[in-house]
């Protein structure tokens, strides 16, 4: 019985100890343990899970290690924007966003204990970060003229400088500033009206300048066009003159060629005709000489023995007779001399 009572008492004690001595750190938080008697904040963060905390002797505070956002903007009941009074006495209202988180060491572990030593609670850290953000941004941006806020590169340079300055200011507080962003710019109404008037004036001046430049370019274009047309006309006339000159030269050359050709042809024909006549005469002379030699040879042949018979034979061959009636009773037709005498009479001798 006593053993059962002891066991129950032990279970109850454990339950009470678990309820009062064990505390949970959620998954999206880290815990910082503070020794309430002398030691202070323990320089190590408690990871998500269950941790033993002595009631009254120690206390556990929860810190958010994730990315934190500060919006400096105008809301229904509050205007936390950064108001910049420029050198031109116009006020520019900036909606800004600051991204920060609890500082981490080189190994990536959070150092919420460092912020806990300064502020004690996460809400206090957020309040300090917001106040410092407004102060630093105002100090950095206040040297900008109103018109300079239209320059995106200049805005970026100033926001980067504000980021670096704010990060240096909060580093010792256990805070790491990741970025400072300009989300929206509201300009003074009077400045916007003056700026619009200025822009319209500049646009009108630009328009007039463009029109003047266009007129000047038009004059230049017309001048170039006229010069081009004159040059084209001059070139055309020169080409036409050159063509006529070339045609005349060709005609002259052609006529000279034709004259030379005619003269040459006449000379050639005359020479050829003279040559042909000379050759013909020479040929005729040769023919005549050959004929004479032939006749001389024939005559010489006729002077030889039997020549008279040959001559008679030729004469007989060349004599044409009419109808001749030969009576063989009167003479012997095979007697040549008698036959010739009958036919030729005294010429037969």
Q: For the segment 157-205, what is each residue's pLDDT rounded down to a tens digit? A: 999 999 999 999 888 888 899 999 999 988 888 876 777 777 777 887 8
pLDDT of residue 36: 83
Is residue 212 domain-resident? no
Separation CA 38–CA 59 (nearest Å): 13
pLDDT of residue 224: 85
pLDDT tens, residue by residue, 55-104? 878 888 888 899 999 999 988 888 889 898 877 788 889 999 999 999 88
Do 141 and 131 lie in a common domain?
yes
Separation CA 70–CA 98 (nearest Å): 5
Do 115 and 30 lie in a common domain?
no
Separation CA 41–CA 69 (nearest Å): 26
Which of 187, 219, 241 marks a domain boundary?
A: 187
Do 124 and 180 lie in a common domain?
yes
The count of structural domains within the chain is 2
Do 38 and 80 lie in a common domain?
no
CATH of the domain at 172: 3.30.479.30
pLDDT of residue 99: 95
Do 161 and 114 lie in a common domain?
yes
Is residue 89 domain-resident? yes
Is residue 292 domain-resident? no
Do 38 and 138 lie in a common domain?
no
160 in Cβ contact with 115 (< 8 Å): no
Which of 11, 38, 63 marks a domain boundary?
A: 63
Do 52 and 106 lie in a common domain?
no
Q: Which helix (H) or strand (E) holds 341?
A: helix 336-344
Is residue 139 domain-resident? yes
Residue range(s) defining the domain that contains residue 56: 19-63
Do 86 and 23 lie in a common domain?
no
Do 76 and 118 lie in a common domain?
yes
Is residue 161 domain-resident? yes
Is residue 85 domain-resident? yes
Do 171 and 73 lie in a common domain?
yes
Which of 48, 63, 78 marks a domain boundary?
A: 63
Longest dimension (CA), the chain: 220
**Any idea how long the chain is?**
349
Do 171 and 134 lie in a common domain?
yes
Is residue 7 domain-resident? no
User: Which ranges of the chain have pLDDT less than 70?
Assistant: 1-2, 4-20, 192, 257-269, 272, 294-336, 339-349
Is residue 265 domain-resident? no
Do 59 and 69 lie in a common domain?
no
């Amino acid at each position: 019985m006593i053993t059962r009572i002891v066991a129950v008492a032990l279970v109850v004690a454990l339950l009470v100890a678990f309820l009062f001595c064990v505390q949970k750190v959620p998954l999206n938080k880290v815990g910082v343990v503070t020794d309430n008697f002398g030691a202070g904040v323990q320089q190590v963060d408690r990871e998500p899970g269950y941790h033993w905390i002595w009631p009254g002797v120690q206390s556990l505070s929860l810190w958010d290690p994730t990315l934190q956002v500060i919006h400096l903007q105008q809301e229904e009941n509050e205007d936390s924007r950064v108001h910049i009074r420029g050198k031109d006495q116009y006020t520019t209202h900036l909606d800004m966003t600051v991204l920060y988180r609890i500082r981490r060491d080189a190994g990536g572990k959070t150092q919420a204990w460092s912020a806990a030593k300064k502020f004690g609670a996460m809400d206090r850290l957020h309040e300090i970060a917001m106040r410092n953000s407004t102060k630093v941004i105002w100090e950095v941006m206040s040297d900008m003229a109103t018109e300079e806020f239209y320059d995106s590169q200049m805005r970026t340079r100033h926001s980067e400088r504000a980021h670096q300055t704010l990060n240096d200011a909060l580093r010792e507080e256990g805070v790491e500033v990741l970025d400072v962003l300009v989300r929206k710019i509201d300009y003074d109404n009077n400045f916007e009206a003056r700026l619009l008037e200025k822009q319209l004036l500049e646009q009108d001046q630009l328009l007039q300048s463009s029109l003047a430049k266009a007129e000047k370019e038009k004059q230049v274009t017309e001048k170039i066009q006229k010069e081009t047309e004159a040059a084209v006309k001059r070139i055309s006339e020169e080409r036409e003159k050159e063509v006529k000159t070339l045609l005349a030269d060709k005609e002259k050359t052609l006529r000279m060629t034709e004259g030379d050709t005619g003269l040459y042809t006449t000379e050639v024909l005359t020479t050829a005709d003279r040559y042909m006549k000379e050759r013909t005469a020479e040929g005729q002379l040769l023919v005549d000489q050959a004929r004479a030699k032939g006749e001389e040879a024939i005559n010489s042949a006729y002077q030889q023995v039997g020549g008279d018979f040959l001559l008679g034979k030729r004469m007989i061959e060349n004599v044409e007779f009419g109808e001749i009636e030969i009576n063989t009773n009167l003479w012997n037709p095979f007697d040549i001399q008698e036959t010739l005498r009958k036919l030729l009479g005294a010429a037969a001798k």
